[in-house]
Structures are given as C-alpha cells and as structure tokens.
Structure 1
C-alpha cells in the first residue's frame, strides 16, 4: 500500500488507462532517454553540471509528456464513517383515532406513561401501583387520549430522552403511514413539532407497503432497524410476512410498539345480508352480523331506516362474540328506484367507537307485479314445481298455456289461456315468456313475430327450458333460434351423461345473482354439486358472440368444448336465457323450496327487472352493483341500439353522473366517456370514482336522454379501519419475530438503545483518479522548459 495522496485516501494501484503493451511503454521511455543523451552528451565546452542539468530537465519534461499520452491512473481507496439510520414509522390510519376506555390498572398505567403523567423509568409494578392513585384530571386525560395521541406523546415527550440519546449515534428520521408512506419534516429539523400535529384520518393501512417503501427510501447508510408505532390493524390485501422476512434477511429488525388495547369494549355491525331487489309491500328479511365484547347480557336496540325514516326497532340481547340476528321490514315505498337502507345498533356511552355501529345498503324497489306467461307441453316434474311456485309468489301474475291439455282447461280457468295472444297489446303485456317442451308448430308465423317483437323492441324476456321432445330441436329456422344464446344441432340426439356429472358455475355464474344460492362461494358450489344425475342433455353447440355462460358441466376436461348448461344473452332491449336441463328440482332434496324457489325467483327477477325499472330503451344504462364503498370504482355500462334495435357501433358514448343530494359538494354533473367493448357489439363501458358517500344518478347525455333510462346507486362509507377496534398485538409480535426484532410496550422502550446496532458504518470506496489530468502538470512543464531555455540562452546554445 503506497503513501496517501492529496489527503483523500491511499493509492492502491497504479496503471496505464490507455490500452498499450508494456513493450511500447518501455520503448517510448527508452527513446526519450536516448534522445536526451544524444542531445547533451556531444556538447563540448560546457560545464558538467550544466550538461547534467539540461539533460535532466529535458528528460523529465519529455517523460511527463510521454507519460501523459499513456494516461497514468491511480486507484484511490477511501474509508468513510457515517451514522446508521433509524426510521420511525407512526400509524395515522383512522383506527388510531379510537379512544380506548381502559379499565385495568396496567392499561391505565401504560397510557399514563405514554402521556408523560407517570415516569417512563418506573418498573411495571410501580406503574400499576401508581395508576390506581391517579387524580381525576389525569384519569380523564387518559380517557380522552386517542391511540395517535399516545403515540405522538410517547415520541415527543415521555420517551424523548431515549430517542435523543439514540440520535447521537444514529440518524433518526420520522415517517407517517396509512395507505402510503410520507416523511414527517425533513433534514432541516422540525420533526418533533410536526409529529404532534399528525391526524388519524387515513382510510386504510398497509404495513407491508410502509415497510417496503421505507427500505427503498432510506438509501445510503444501512438501517440499524425500523421502529413501527401502530395498533397493528391492517386493511391491505397484501400479506406482511414476505416484506418482513425480506427485511430480516437483510439484517434490518423491526421493533414494534403497540398502541391501544387488544380487547376494547365495543359493539359493531360486521355485515348485513339482504336482497338487492324488493317489491312494494314486500316483507324483506335482513340477516345482521353482530360483534360485541364487554357487554354480555346487555340489551341494545337494533333499528332499520328506509330512506332516513325509521321503520323497525327491535331489542337484542348481546351474547358476546359473534352473533346473528334477523330483522324484517316492510317496503312501503311506492316509487320505483333505489332506496337507502340503514341498519344501526344503539351505542353504549363507553364504547371504543360508535362509527362501526351502523351499516348502509341500497335496495331497488319495484312497484308493480311481474307478468309471466309459462307455456309447457309436458307435465314433467320441473314444470309442476315451477307452476306451484309461480302461483304462490304474490309478486308474480302468472298465466299458463298447456299445449297438450283439453280446450276446456283454458275456458274454465282464469289462470290458463289456449294460445299465444293474437292481440298485440295483450302479448306485449307479458314481462317474461317461459317456453318449455313445446312443439314449434304450436306457434303461427305471426305469433313468432309478436314474440320476437316483445323481446327485441318491448324489453320482454324469453327463457327456454329444454325438453327432449321439441325444445330446442323443433325451433330450427324460426325466430326463436336466433333469439337463443346458444347454437344447437336440430338433427343430433340428446346425450346421455354419467350420473356423477353436475353443474359447475363459471366465473360469470359465481358473480351472477341468478346462480347465488349461498353467500359463501364454497357452500354455493356444494349446493350446485347436488344437482345430479342430470340424465340427458340437448345437443348444444357454441354460445353466440356476446352470450354469457353461467354454468357448465363438471366433466369439461373430458369434452372437446365446454358445454353451456345455463346461458343468456341480450336480444335487442330484452334478454333471452336457455336452461339445458329440466332437473333443477333436485335442489329440493332435503331442503324443500329453499334453493329451488330461490334460483327460479332470482332468474325471474334478473330477466324482468330491466323492463320493470323502465330500462328497456334504445340506450340502456347499468351499473355492476347497487352499493359501493367510498374510494371504490363504479363500473358503468351502456347498451346502444339503433332504430332497428340492432347493436350500434361508434367510437364512444358520453354519460353524466350527478350526486342526488341537493347540498352535495359536487353539484355539477361529471361527464364520463364510455368506450366500446370489442367482444360485444353495442356494449360500452367505463369507470367512475365517486368523490364522497351518498346517492348518485347516471344519465345519458342531453341529446340521447329521451331514448335512455336512468340508474341510481349508493356510495356507503364502509370505513374498514373501524370495523374491528382490537389492537392486533399478535400481528405486531409476528412482525417483530419474523424480522429478528422485538415487540416493545411503552414501558419497554428503555430497552431499545441496547437492542440497536449503534456502531458507525464503515464504508470503503475505490475510485480511479487520472494522474495525467492534473492541474500541476502544465506548471511543471513550464518551469522545466523555462529553466532549460534560460540555461541555453545563458550559454548561447542554439
């Protein structure tokens, strides 16, 4: 190792930057020496010292010039010392606004220590003992403090001496986080003052995102660790384990500081389950999921409000833990459209928070009965059960045609008619036509045209329930064939299938109201798996472009093509559905009407709701749901038809979304441009992000508004941060364990300095410094050549 140069480090290596061989370098320097000897050895009459001085001067000057041409370079080794870094992360999500009502002395004492009421350096036993003798004013201060108040007070007051001592050896920085990470203050100081001004208003928490972000942000000196001050509530879908393990493998331990209590007294509404559509006069059930702690055997009032008006009040005895209650309310709203339902439970005065005591949803209200025409040519089991269910449902006005019955049946019963109505207005009064195993010859050509017009132009719907005799084979070449969502082979035979084959829902089927028999997906799949054996299925081919398949068969892997067991498509302003099996009655096994009635009821609602809500127009607007969370995206659809009720193709379609509330912050409608779906002609889609909670109306642009329906939806402030008020101590301990850190309570923070690696970070750098590109080279050459010139002039040398 050579001596240090320029006080910047040590020369570790010298080399020529220009890629030349050693032979060339030696030859060049040898030539310089020979030239110098040749020039000055033959000079006679000069003093020896003059010749030697001139020779050395010329030799050094030429050597410098030649060396510069080869670009001599030195590798400089430098050793730098810098402080390690310690980022401190403070949770500012909404759950940190909870004011825990502490009852145990250890909880009160820990909060008093965080607020600086009791000294941090006391032992836990001393803290618990002193907590029992706190003055009323101090107890009130503890009760009024939120989790964030405790966190900021701990960092700025009670534990400030600890962090000041740490900052002597470590570079301490502060961050706040909820859904994203944000630096508190900067390098110019002021962190402490800004910490005390933090507010807990983050809509969600992503601990994994915060840890990953701080590891990327804190570049340069390595991290001594990360201090995470939080209640551990994490609303992000990302799992924190991967991020924590990554920090652990990099030698960055996470020291978690829990804030809050793990079991606060609280009552919350976790969820409500109710139907999306209700008819005027319906008695609608709501299944309420309650969570309570600390109020066992206490009684609270459960209330239901319809459009802000209380309609039900029911007393509930709290059992502690999770419990389910069922409450009913009558739909006494006469106008059709979206109605707001609010379910709330009366809060207790000492709850952790009352924000999670209510849940809001929307329900679409229909104010007229559904007119259904059911045409059947076979007294099969599916028809028998379906007829009974249609007759029993008060929301449905059912009419039947039995094509193989005696004419007297239609004459003697008000429920039956003999044929498809010849009168256009009578035919168009039906919202849904269920076509069973009926020979196509039963219909005249005019009847087929009226049926097609009912669906295509009047917004009605058609459902074909396949039968082995006539449906769908006999309808080849008729208008019904082009209305159906699936192509079929009229000449092929029905297929016998194995008894173990059952319906399997497609992704579209799982998200469809029609096929949802249980709220849990696994339970729903289990119910559908019981629909076996299916015996025989019709020879169906591929779904038509734009059709949606809701269910296929479980033996899909053994087939060349997926079999469309249940499918539907839009046809003009209406809908057409095909059910390739008439054995849905197997859903009744050991359950009676429960699932069988539900699937048919939901199917009827799905097919008729658009018409009942006035949506059967050339421009049909829809949303994918009725209720959305704040911050969520609303999927908007527009189905465009031309004057012939054929799909309309254009570059885009403009709609307007406006808030329903008169005093809404955004009074002006917001314009949204929907883009065409290349796979579905006439369908346009786009997204809208509601700025706030409340009701919204979707309308077409002014020019197309007379041809369009309107849609309303609700945005509910679900506030997932306050759904669960428990401080997640186990989650925080796991974060510390996986990273090699430790979970420290407020009383344990005095251990933090001894846990951290406070040794300075020694960083060695190596840089290549060009020696030829030096400011001293030119002056040295000037001095040497000047000295030579002076001597030569003095002795009169040419």
Structure 2
C-alpha cells in the first residue's frame, strides 16, 4: 500500500512539473515527494530491535510485618473464631503462595518490624515501613530486583512516610504491591487490659487492686467489674464504673480478706451487647475472652520482733511493752 501511494505521488508530481515547468515547480514537487515519503516511512513503524541477555535472574522480595501491632486479634475466620493478624499471616506463609513465581524469579521472604531492626534504628515499639522499603532497595545482594510485595497491617507510626520510599522504588521501575492484614478500624470490644494486684496482703487490712479497662465502643458504657474468690461468694465484691466512648478507665477495687492463706481471685468485666439475639439490631463484642483476668494473692500476718535492751528498769517500759504486744 505504501509503495502504491508513493508511486502515485511521484507520478502526480512528475506530471505537474512536465505540464507547468520551471525550477520553482520542480522544487515544490520534490518537497511534496519528500514529505510524503517521510509520512509513509513513519506509518510503517520502523523499529530497531536489540536483544539484551540478562545474566541475573529476576528477584522478588516479600516483606512480612512482625511488629507488635500484628498481635491484634481482629481476623475473623468464622462466626466465633477470631485470631491475631500474625497467626493469619503465618498460615498464609506456610502455603508458599509464591510458588508460581519460583520458576521465573528468585523469591526472598524477609521479616521487618522485629526488635533487632527496631534496635538498629532506635525504635521502641514503632513500625517503620519506609525503613523496610529503603533497606530492601539498598540491599547489595539484590542484583535484579523486580518487585516488592508487602504483607502488613499498615500501622505506620514511625519514620518517614512510606509513600516516599515507594516512589523511590517506582523511579527504579520496581513496583510495590501491598496486602492489608486485619481490620481497618477497631472492632467493638471492651477489654480488661491489666490488673496489678500486690503479691500479698495483711489480714485485717484493705487490699487495693488497681485495674485498667479500655473501650472500643462508639458510646459510653455503664457497667460493673466484679471480683470473685475461689473460696466462695463471701469474698466477692463489685464496683460500678463508667467507660467513655473510645476511652479508658483507671480504677481500683478495695478487697477486705477474711482468712489467711492463698487466694485465686478473678476480676470480670461483663460482656457488652445490645438488642436480643436473632434480631437485626443485635450486636455484641467481637472478643469474649478478654473480659477477665485471674491472679493469685497471699494473705498473711506480719509479726515484728523487737529486742529492747535497757541498762536499768524504767517506768516507761510497761507502756512500750503494751504497745508492742
């Protein structure tokens, strides 16, 4: 087709020059032929093909988040089975889901967010995603990095923004793919986070048992915490508390022991739910096993023995003796 068009163009230009004559017409028709030849050459899409032999096999890095935020339990496997993000990710790693790539590329699985990495960068409990991407980009043993696949809950709370590190990899034609693990928002839950009882108490004295409750609910909750004893209902006490929406409460129970010995005590927070089971508006906590904590406490009598040495009897002695008895 291009040859036919070119032949027609040359014939038309030649005929026009023969009919009109003159150097100006010859130059104009020559320019027309050259322009048409360049257009037809471009339409033919000329390409120069060069074959480059790549000696290094492509490499893919899978970054696995093992930071403390991965211990959050919000991955639902069924109606009642809830596991941590870390447990779910570990099960996925065991399946070797990257097997399809092994014939085409070398796959490296690397953890990030562990304590050793945090110690090197001065992180306490933070997750520095940008640092993990930058370390991957600058690793000397990666000669032909083609892609980075990150498995994380996305809880970036330390270091530079991850977007900057991803853009640097993108500038080197290394795409970063991500898979988010866990829920993107806190699940509705009441958590008895901590109980800090003393190791022992004295008979006849009040024992203070501090505790902390956290709420992941959008509304304030009025409830009560109850302390029960392994020795029966006689040692049980309760206290009313109000937990603000998405807040926490630091409080304490005052427990009076009645007998000597070792106690097994359980502090319980009632499960939160609204509506009736089976109805559309029925809701309850996602986790039902974080509303109680059991601990041990010893109740005993402390005796102070005092040796008093006097060089001669004094009249104050009998009052001191009565005070120590």
TM-score normalised over the length of structure 1 = 0.24
Instruction: Using the TM superposition, give the Cα deviation of residue 269 of structure 1 relative to its aligned residue in structure 2, in angstroms.
Output: 1.9
In structure 1, C-alpha distance between the alignment counterparts of 2:152 and 2:167, rounded to whole Å? 23
| Offset from partner CA, 1:492-511 (integer Å, 9 cap, x none) | xxxxxxxxxxxxxxxxxxxx
Alignment of 1:249-264 (within 5 A): 251=169, 255-259=177-181, 260-264=183-187
Alignment counterpart, residue 330 of structure 1, candidates 246, 256, 278: 256
Alignment counterpart, residue 239 of structure 2, candidates 299, 303, 314: 314
Instruction: Indicate how the Cα distance of structure 1 residues 325 and 87 shifts in structure 2: closer, same or farther if over 3 A, else same.
Output: same
Over the aligned positions, Cα root-mean-square deviation in angstroms equals 5.5
Instruction: Indicate how the Cα distance of structure 1 residues 168 and 362 shifts in structure 2: closer, same or farther if over 3 A, else same.
Output: closer
Aligned partner of 2:62 in structure 1 is: 87
In structure 1, C-alpha distance between the alignment counterparts of 2:67 and 2:223, rounded to whole Å? 32
| Offset from partner CA, 1:139-178 (integer Å, 9 cap, x none) | x9799776769979999xxxx9xx99x9599738485969
2:289 is aligned with 1:355: yes
What is the SS of the residue equivalent to 1:356? coil
In structure 2, C-alpha distance between the alignment counterparts of 1:175 and 1:147, rounded to whole Å? 20
Alignment counterpart, residue 98 of structure 1, candidates 49, 74, 78: 74
In structure 2, C-alpha distance between the alignment counterparts of 1:372 and 1:318, rounded to whole Å? 47
Highest RCO, 1 vs 2 (Cα 8 Å, sep ≥ 6): 1
Instruction: Using the TM superposition, give the Cα deviation of residue 302 of structure 1 relative to its aligned residue in structure 2, in angstroms.
Output: 1.1
Contact kept? 1:300, 1:346, Cα under 8 Å: yes
Aligned partner of 2:225 in structure 1 is: 302
Alignment counterpart, residue 303 of structure 2, candidates 365, 370, 388: 370
What is the SS of the residue equivalent to 1:228? strand
In structure 1, C-alpha distance between the alignment counterparts of 2:203 and 2:214, rounded to whole Å? 32
Aligned partner of 2:266 in structure 1 is: 342
| Structure (1 or 2) with the greater helix fraction | 1
Alignment of 1:735-774 (within 5 A): none
In structure 1, C-alpha distance between the alignment counterparts of 2:264 and 2:230, rounded to whole Å? 5
Instruction: Indicate how the Cα distance of structure 1 residues 258 and 273 shifts in structure 2: closer, same or farther if over 3 A, else same.
Output: same
In structure 2, C-alpha distance between the alignment counterparts of 1:367 and 1:81, rounded to whole Å? 73
Instruction: Using the TM superposition, give the Cα deviation of residue 370 of structure 1 relative to its aligned residue in structure 2, in angstroms.
Output: 1.7
In structure 2, C-alpha distance between the alignment counterparts of 1:332 and 1:176, rounded to whole Å? 56
In structure 1, C-alpha distance between the alignment counterparts of 2:214 and 2:206, rounded to whole Å? 26
Alignment of 1:462-611 (within 5 A): none
In structure 1, C-alpha distance between the alignment counterparts of 2:305 and 2:285, rounded to whole Å? 51
Contact kept? 1:89, 1:226, Cα under 8 Å: no
In structure 1, C-alpha distance between the alignment counterparts of 2:84 and 2:260, rounded to whole Å? 47
Instruction: Indicate how the Cα distance of structure 1 residues 359 and 145 shifts in structure 2: closer, same or farther if over 3 A, else same.
Output: closer
2:208 is aligned with 1:275: no
Instruction: Indicate how the Cα distance of structure 1 residues 154 and 367 shifts in structure 2: closer, same or farther if over 3 A, else same.
Output: closer
In structure 1, C-alpha distance between the alignment counterparts of 2:78 and 2:318, rounded to whole Å? 83
Contact kept? 2:61, 2:110, Cα under 8 Å: no
| Offset from partner CA, 1:566-590 (integer Å, 9 cap, x none) | xxxxxxxxxxxxxxxxxxxxxxxxx
Instruction: Using the TM superposition, give the Cα deviation of residue 347 of structure 1 relative to its aligned residue in structure 2, in angstroms.
Output: 2.3
Instruction: Indicate how the Cα distance of structure 1 residues 268 and 329 shifts in structure 2: closer, same or farther if over 3 A, else same.
Output: same
Instruction: Using the TM superposition, give the Cα deviation of residue 227 of structure 1 relative to its aligned residue in structure 2, in angstroms.
Output: 2.6
Contact kept? 1:88, 1:172, Cα under 8 Å: no
Aligned partner of 2:150 in structure 1 is: 228
In structure 2, C-alpha distance between the alignment counterparts of 1:369 and 1:152, rounded to whole Å? 51
How many residues were matched structurally? 235
What is the SS of the residue equivalent to 2:55? strand
| Offset from partner CA, 1:106-152 (integer Å, 9 cap, x none) | xxxxxxxxxxxxxxxxxxxxxxxxxxxxxxxxxx9799776769979
Instruction: Using the TM superposition, give the Cα deviation of residue 284 of structure 1 relative to its aligned residue in structure 2, in angstroms.
Output: 0.8
In structure 2, C-alpha distance between the alignment counterparts of 1:354 and 1:143, rounded to whole Å? 9
Instruction: Using the TM superposition, give the Cα deviation of residue 326 of structure 1 relative to its aligned residue in structure 2, in angstroms.
Output: 2.0
| Offset from partner CA, 1:217-276 (integer Å, 9 cap, x none) | 994544344333333579xxxx9749x89x879947865433313232111122233323
Instruction: Using the TM superposition, give the Cα deviation of residue 353 of structure 1 relative to its aligned residue in structure 2, in angstroms.
Output: 1.7
